[in-house]
């Protein structure tokens, strides 16, 4: 009977040892998986932040494109005005110098009227 009890104790000890080993393996696996999960969460968080920044930059770029278009139109108007004024000054200088081209004078006058009143 002593051998049976001692065999049962050895078997129980072996089963406990195996169970303890399985528990340690599962705990080790859990520790290996956790940092990966944490890293994934951190990477996902950074991706979300970068996506938000990208969307913000897209909106800002769109707004600036609108500003540039508006500025381009204003510059074109100013350039046209400068061109008309330069023509008018040239005609006035020619008139002062006695080089009068009545047809050219009339064209520039109409262009100047159009620029001033249709702008």
- For the chain, which residues make up each domain, given as ranges? 2-118
Q: What is the pLDDT of residues 43-70, one digit of tens each?
A: 899 999 999 999 999 999 999 999 999 9
pLDDT category, 109, cuts 50, 70, 90? confident
CB 119 within 8 A of CB 84: no
Task: Give the tokens for residue 15.
Answer: 């089963």
Torsion of CA 18, 24, 27, 28, to 10 degrees: -120
DSSP characters over 75-106: HHHHHHHHHHHHHHHHHHHHHHTT---HHHHH
CA 58 to chain centre: 4
Mean pLDDT of the chain: 87
């Amino acid at each position: 009977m002593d051998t049976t009890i001692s065999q049962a104790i050895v078997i129980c000890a072996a089963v406990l040892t195996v169970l303890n080993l399985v528990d340690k393996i599962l705990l080790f696996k859990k520790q290996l998986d956790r940092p990966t999960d944490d890293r994934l969460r951190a990477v996902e968080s950074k991706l979300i932040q970068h996506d938000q920044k990208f969307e913000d930059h897209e909106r800002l770029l769109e707004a600036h494109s609108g500003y540039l278009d508006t500025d381009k139109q204003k510059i074109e108007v100013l350039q046209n005005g400068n061109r008309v004024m330069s023509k008018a000054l040239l005609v006035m200088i020619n008139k002062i110098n006695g080089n009068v081209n009545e047809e050219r004078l009339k064209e520039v006058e109409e262009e100047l009227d159009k620029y001033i009143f249709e702008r």
